[in-house]
Chains A and B, each alone.
Chain A
Amino acid sequence: MVIKVLFFGVLAEVTKTSLKYYNNVISFGDLRLRIQDDFPEIVHYNFRISVNNEIINDDPVLNDGDEIALLPPFSGG
């Protein structure tokens, strides 16, 4: 399946990437490892993950076309 991955805030800056598509994703665990391989620097930052606009706590079951976002701590206002 194809998964769209978005990077925000400091993560967009350190990865120099705001959007990347991952093809042939098998599972969330597989995707997580591929993101860490591509952007090893992200392990130094705190972030939460959303799937299709919903923040998740446990590893989700992904579906083709899902949108994942890596969300550093919010600082609006």
Chain B
Amino acid sequence: MSYNILVPGPITQDLIIACMDEISKRTDTGGHSCFIGQVRADNISGKSVVAIEYSAYKKMVKSEADQIIKMIRSEFKDVKSILILHSLGVVRAGEISLFVLVSAGHRQHAIQACSKTVEMIKEKLPVWKKEIFEDNSHEWKQNNLA
């Protein structure tokens, strides 16, 4: 399945359903693990986050995601596919900005590989998050790595 990792705006239910359709075509997998990242309405110094604006170094996102997938697949031989969708542009609080789906022969490998994929995305994907507050002010965020 060939697809673009970066999705303009929020990741919609339709996109997630399309991913589910894709896995239903497989017969070599016994477990799928997914992670859904959602924009949280954090309250920072009395102001609520209403949206996040994501920007990215698109070319490097592609090469880094390829590297992440290669590293995960070499560590977890049972993994059959890894799918990553990440938002670009504005995503409002409550909407989905990251979807990761890892398919494996067995559940333990799917769950472990999905968790590790999400951590590597946070660490390695050249994506930047600008939190936008209700008064239209903003703040640039930095990931806390596990």
Contact = CB atoms under 8 A, between A and B. Distances in A.
Nearest to A71: B126
B42 interface: no
B59 A53 contact: yes
Majority DSSP secondary structure for residues of B touching A? mixed
Contact of A76 (B56, B59, B63, B140): B56
Interface string A1-37: 0000010111011000000000000000000000000
Interface residues on B, range: 20 to 34
A41 to B, nearest CB: 14
Nearest to B54: A76
Interface stretch (B19-27, B75-83, B105-113, B115-123): B115-123
Contacts of B54: 76
Interface in A30-70: 50, 53, 69
A8 B57 contact: yes
Nearest to A46: B142
Contacts of A73: 142-143
Contact of A9 (B37, B55, B121): B55
Contact of A12 (B55, B86, B97): B55
B125 interface: yes
A8 B55 contact: yes
Interface string B128-146: 1110000000001111000
Contacts of A12: 55
B128 A10 contact: yes
Interface residues of A, number: 16
A63 B86 CA distance: 32
Contact of A8 (B118, B124, B128): B128
B71 interface: no
Contacts of A74: 122-128, 142-143
Contacts of A6: 57
B63 A53 contact: yes
Contacts of B128: 8-10, 72, 74-76
Interface of A: 6, 8-10, 12-13, 50, 53, 69, 71-77
